[in-house]
Every structure is written in structure tokens, then in C-alpha cells.
Amino acid sequence: MTELDCQKCGACCTHAGDISVYPTDTGIPKHLTRSVRGRVGYGSWEAEQGTRVMAKNDCDTCSALKSNKDGYTCRIYENRPVVCREFPAGSDECFAARKLAGLDT
């Protein structure tokens, strides 16, 4: 199995759905996020928190994802949202994302 290196992968950062950005997620440039306040489907807790989510690029990838010669990397990796920090590399979901991206699992 290929050794997993999230900083060269980014498979789960593509078509990942909304990635919440909580007030405790600091250091993320605001222009990389968008507001979901008042959006149908978001609960009152999120509305009270003023929850934002990571914005998307035109190709539906996270706005913080960028490509380089090694693959894809997160430009805010040190300050990435807690949702991303807690996504377990090596989990079934990780391997499913990698498979969708055409990477070795």
C-alpha cells in the first residue's frame, strides 16, 4: 500500500460537500470561505454560531486546495478547519475518496 501523505493527495478535499468553518477555526482567510447563515437545512445552532463553510473552486474542489508538481495540497494546512483535522487518513472514507480520485489505495 502507498504511504499516505495528505499534503500530496487532497482526494477528500474534492467533491467533499460543505466543510464547516467554526468560530474556533482561526487563521483561515475569509475569502476562502462563504456564509451559510440562514440557509435552508442548517439548524439554529449553526445559524447562531454564524457558521461559514469553505468556499469551492469552479471545479467543485475546496478553495484552499491547490495543485503542485507533487499532486494536490492544502494551502492552509496548519490552520485547516477542525472538520479536516479530524478526517482520519487511512479510514474507509479516505480510501473511498482516493479510489474516486484514481489514486492507489
d(CA 81, CA 28): 8
User: Cβ closer to ligand SF4: 2 or 44?
Assistant: 2
C-alpha cell at 89: 487518513
In the complex, the smallest distance separating the C-beta of residue 50 from ligand SF4, rounded to whole angstroms, is 18
In the complex, the smallest distance separating the C-beta of residue 44 from ligand SF4, rounded to whole angstroms, is 25
Residues in contact with ligand SF4 by CB under 6 A are 4, 6, 9-13, 16, 19, 54, 62, 64-65, 74, 76, 80-81, 84, 87, 89, 94, 97-98
User: Cβ closer to ligand SF4: 38 or 90?
Assistant: 90
User: Cβ closer to ligand SF4: 42 or 83?
Assistant: 83
In the complex, the smallest distance separating the C-beta of residue 26 from ligand SF4, rounded to whole angstroms, is 13
